[in-house]
Amino acid sequence: MRALRRLFRWGINPGIRLQLLLPFALLMTLPFFADFWLNNWSFMMLEGQRHEVVSDAKYMARSLEASESLIKKIALRSVEQDKPDLLADLVDDRRALDGRDDDWFGVQGQSLGVDDLVEINRTYRQDSFSAEYKLGTSDNFLYLFVKVLDDVVIYREINNPSVHRNDNLQIAVVNPDGEYRRYTVAAFQPTSTNAHQVSSSGRSLRQEELIEAVWLGTESGYNLELKIPLSLVGEKFSFVLADVDDQKDRDIHYRMGSSSVDSAAQLVNLIRPSLGAQKMLASLENASISLFDAKKRIVSLSPNSPENIQGESDHEYPISWESGLLSFISSDIQSEQDANVRGSAGEAFAAPTTMLVEAALRGESGSKVTKRGYAFIAAEPVLFNGEVVGAVVVQKSERALLRYIERVRHEMFVQFVLLLVLGFIFWRVMIWLQTSRLKTLKNQLEQAIDTRGRVNDKLPSFDMPDELGDLARSFATMVEKLHQYNQYLESMASRLAHELRTPVSIVRSSLDNITTDQLDDENAVYVKRAHDGLERLSLILNNMSEATRLEHSLDKDDIESFDLIELVRGCVEGYSLAFPAARFDLSIEESAVPVTGIPDLIAQLFDKLISNAVEFSLPDAAIKVRLTIEDEVAVLRVMNQGPGLPENMRENLFDSMVSVRRRYDGSSSHLGLGLYIAKVITEFHGGEIKLSNREDSHGVVATVRIPLMRLSSKLRL
């Protein structure tokens, strides 16, 4: 508050809207400035990195063209006919041979179905027999993993030398010496096993100890994982799966695989990365390089190629949670998955890489910036004697650049959070200053006007020259006017009663001098009506005087603690004498009902309720009085049988000079001041009063609730 007053003294007068809007307006501008800066900075970094990748692709293409042996090998591959070759991905020798593919991460599986059947002896059903395989190579071994869906798995018979009258895997190779070899993997049960070399007729020759295999049973069929030394494998390789479903006849129903293995001519090419080319491709650090021939088949991959470790880059460089929160700042740099080189030799890269390879094989250089972790791709054609024989693709996911951008984002996040915290603190202080002023104004308004609507005090002056100050001054002026008007209304009743008593006395004396004996019957009726009206007017004046005296005397009488039971019992005994025609039924359920207040006022309240009950009660009907304690509150109920309360006048029952029902005899001389006085006395004692119709709708229940004895003498809170 003092700081705000100091600002006003200095001539700085910010309105409440500006005070609350200023910190948020400042914070909201930060993302726009950050977005502008990051977009420009990222664009420059991306352009620089793209030019670097393009230069690396040109350098690698010229280096490959300078290597005579490599360029001739690529040229010879380019003139071969298209065949469904097998592509082996680079894998690690440290993998476990267990029949599971959880360590084949990054190697894409290929499906085998109806188009891959090489022998059909039954009507084929996809849900009966299908498979998926993965092929990988390291420096020393060729790995094959096959996941087979087979509704019936038939294993080898014990003591039966045949390896083909059961489910099995057949592989055929042309070894480095140019010799055709054929092997079959079958098992007596799911376990580790070895392959058997078989003759061209299918007869088992011997067990091949160098080929290791694991047969693992699954709920839908079985898994096979093989480890074959490269000393047994040349450039030709094929495999087929044989399916046997009948335990008795054990005939082969289907054979499915990459190609038939019955002869060397039917085998397909096994495409493995060239180790010689790998060394050259690995010369560029922090870059993955792929070499394609003219048929878009991969000749070699660099050891750090992301195609060999698919998805690993996403795990090596996770986006921090801070950067995640700030990812909305930069709209140009988003995470987008890019397709990798997978599939048979006839398939190429997907998405942007495919287009770049195709363009390079047409002799066009190209580059692209992907949105997957700052990936930069460039493709360059490889020439031999002026002809395009291949393409080299360079892809960089710059680690240093990524870490630097992450650090920048982290620093921006810290600064943004710091500014946000400071802005929040400033906003909270401003809110506290304004709300405290509003609460002060609210408390002062509540103290200035009591529960009866009387203005007790004036509001203090406010010197703040802002909207809240104007509001407080308006409230102060309004309360002052209400106070003056309230005083006028409070004094008007007593003045009016005083002024009316003299003319009422004159009229009364004049009517008394007129005797009914001197008047005929017609004029006597009018005189009687004048007497009745005068009596009614006198009753109104007396009740108004009583209500006025009560309001002025409430805060002046002495307050004491007393037992409400004794007061109620004494009053009921007096009512029996005052209203001999009425019957009273008193019921007290407690031994003591201690309350704090003014006994005479409570008795006056009780008188008003009893008077109302007697006035509107049926003849000979008992008036029931009940006194009890409910929820630490004294409850006094007065019930009578008679006319009920109209539903549309419930809210006006306790207003002064309001009568909402007729007496049982049909007259309407009830003035309505009794309930008003009862309400004033009840609220003075901190309680509440309520009128309601009885459940049987044949009468009214008046309920008064007064708090029990208090330690303080202050009744109204």
What pLDDT is stored for residue 334 in this prediction? 34
CATH number of 43-80+275-400: 3.30.450.20
Q: If pLDDT is split at 50, 70 and 90, which confidence band does 544 have?
A: low
Please say if the pLDDT value at position 257 is more than 90: yes
What pLDDT is stored for residue 279 in this prediction? 63
CA–CA gap between residue 130 and residue 148 (Å, rounded): 6
Class for the domain spanning 556-707: alpha beta
Contacts of 593 (CB under 8 A, 6+ apart): 563, 564, 565, 627, 629, 634, 708
Span 466-483, mean pLDDT?
78
Please say if the pLDDT value at position 540 is more than 80: no
Q: If pLDDT is split at 50, 70 and 90, which confidence band does 451 have?
A: low
What pLDDT is stored for residue 514 in this prediction? 73
Please say if the pLDDT value at position 365 is more than 80: yes
Please say if the pLDDT value at position 166 is more than 60: yes
What pLDDT is stored for residue 349 in this prediction? 37
Please say if the pLDDT value at position 581 is more than 90: no
pTM score: 0.40
What pLDDT is stored for residue 277 in this prediction? 61
Who wins on pLDDT, 569 or 1?
569
Span 515-541, mean pLDDT?
70
Who wins on pLDDT, 138 or 428?
138
Find the range with the poorest average confidence among 25-29, 104-108, 314-318, 503-507.
Answer: 314-318
**Beta pairing class for 375-384 and 387-397:** antiparallel
Residue 258 DSSP one-character state: S
SS3 of 313-357: HHHHCCCCHHHHHCCCCCCCCCCCCCCCCCCCCCCCCCHHHHHHH
Question: What pLDDT digit, counting tens, does each position of 265-298 carry?
Answer: 889 888 776 555 656 666 666 677 888 878 777 7
> Left if phi > 0, otherwise alpha if psi is -120 to 50, otherwise beta: which for 583?
beta
Span 370-390, mean pLDDT?
79
Question: What pLDDT digit, counting tens, does each position of 588-619 carry?
Answer: 988 889 998 888 888 888 888 888 888 888 88
Residues facing residue 89 across a β-bridge: 136
Angle CA 211–158–168, to nearest 5:
45
CATH number of 89-271: 2.60.40.1190
Question: What pLDDT digit, counting tens, does each position of 631-687 carry?
Answer: 889 999 999 988 888 776 655 666 655 555 454 454 444 455 677 778 888 888 888
- Residue whose C-alpha is closest to residue 398's, from 370, 428, 434: 370
| Domain residue ranges in the chain | 43-80+275-400, 89-271, 467-548, 556-707
Q: Which of 200-209, 214-223, 482-491, 676-685 has the highest average model confidence (pLDDT)?
A: 214-223
Lookup: tokens for 226: 């093989």
Q: If pLDDT is split at 50, 70 and 90, which confidence band does 199 have?
A: confident
CA–CA gap between residue 387 and residue 421 (Å, rounded): 65
Q: If pLDDT is split at 50, 70 and 90, which confidence band does 328 have?
A: very low
What pLDDT is stored for residue 278 in this prediction? 59
